[in-house]
Amino acid sequence: MKVRSDKDTSGFRKVKLLDGFGISGSYNLMADSMKLSPFMLNARTNLFDKVNISASGT
């Protein structure tokens, strides 16, 4: 995302919203039913270059 900046010569600076994002899951070929596992999501970001925030869910 670009944000207006007075310090930069171009007038804009880039800001990262997410440092990392992932989705994972699996499929069991040998199971009789319910072969697909639950999906797992994770995300991570930094606030003000001082606070690290991580989140995950299933």
Structure tokens at 5: 């900046």
Placement of tokens 């989705």 in the chain: 23
How buried is 44 (Cβ within 10 angstroms: 0-12 exposed, 13-18 middle, 19+ buried)? middle
Look at residue 18 in the predicted model and tell me its pLDDT.
Answer: 84
Of 22 and 2, the structure prediction assigns the larger pLDDT to 22
pLDDT at 57 over 90: yes
Look at residue 22 in the predicted model and tell me its pLDDT.
Answer: 96
Look at residue 58 in the predicted model and tell me its pLDDT.
Answer: 93
Look at residue 8 in the predicted model and tell me its pLDDT.
Answer: 63
| pLDDT tens-digit readout, 24-54 | 999 988 888 888 889 999 999 988 878 999 9
